[in-house]
Amino acid sequence: MATIMEPTGDVMVHPEDAAVIEQLAKLQQMHQQIHDLRSLLPNALLGPARESIIQPRGSNPSHFAVSVMKAANDGVKGIQSFKQDWQAPETRQLFRDANAANTTQGSDTWHMDYRSLATTATRTTNTDLPREDIQVDTIEEAKIAFESFKQNERKIKLQAPDSPDMFPIDVEVNRMHFRLDRDETSNTYTIEPVTGGSLPQQIADQLTQEKSRKKLGKLLAHFEAYHAIRLRKCDKCRSLLDSDLKLPLVRKLTTERSSENPAGRWAAYHMACSP
């Protein structure tokens, strides 16, 4: 496949363009899946066999069998993942829209890395562009949300100082500690991992991209969705770890919060599986 250009610098994406970029990113991901599956047989399956034939004395049958088995399993997973994406309702609608648009056939070359751009677009539309419909809590609203959440939730632990502004707030989820503070400059809440390691930092980075940073109640509910992070499988590929051995870090609210279900219901996805 041809080399594609990655977005550089601060890419500002209008919210109305973000949906188009996400669709292009989806098509680009499926194109890459086809390319990977097409090269599976000559590279992953026949490659080890070729080495064993060329240098039979130096080859190890056990290692050869393991490599072939891994390649076969990866191929099955890749086919299943592509099949899910291909049959998804949003993909079918995307193809219907493209066919109805009566546009010219494009080339087989991607000139832009839309998958990276889609991530930038999500981050930009959620945090950088002004949104009049999302305003940060007042101190009084934050206090009400904190007390309500503390009374109802049992899966995370909260601790706030006895001060008029109540901040910073310490949050513990799955034995990981975070500190929330109110940033008057950015008009939002900041998230700092107190526990060391890559997983707390990855969770903090993911939450930093979310719109829930404007509302303390929503942010705490988002934190609560990570209470089983080390056990929760991806709701799309049904695997715990992705190809980079990373846990499903993305959380999508599927059922709104209510008095019967204060935290709401959340779906978990790997970055590559996220809709």
> Residue 178's pLDDT is what?
96
What integer is the mean pLDDT of 51-56?
61
As a whole-number percent, the residues of the chain with pLDDT over 70 amount to 65
Checking if the pLDDT of 71 tops 50, the result is yes
pLDDT at res. 58: 59
Mean pLDDT of all residues in the chain? Answer: 76
d(CA 117, CA 113): 6
Cβ atoms of residues 242 and 270 within 8 Å: yes
Provide the whole-model pTM.
0.50
The answer on pLDDT for 231 being more than 80 is: yes
pLDDT digits (tens, 9 = 90+) for 111-165: 666 666 666 555 544 444 444 445 678 888 888 888 888 777 568 899 999 888 8
- Omega before 168 cis (within 30°)? yes
By the 10 Å C-beta count (0-12 exposed, 13-18 middle, 19+ buried), 174 is classed as middle
Q: Is the pLDDT of residue 273 over 80?
A: yes
- Give me the mean pLDDT over the 225-243 stretch: 92
- Tell me the pLDDT band of 168, cut-offs 50, 70 and 90: very high
* Domain coordinates in residue numbering, the chain: 15-102+109-128, 139-269
Residue 172 has pLDDT above 90, yes or no: yes
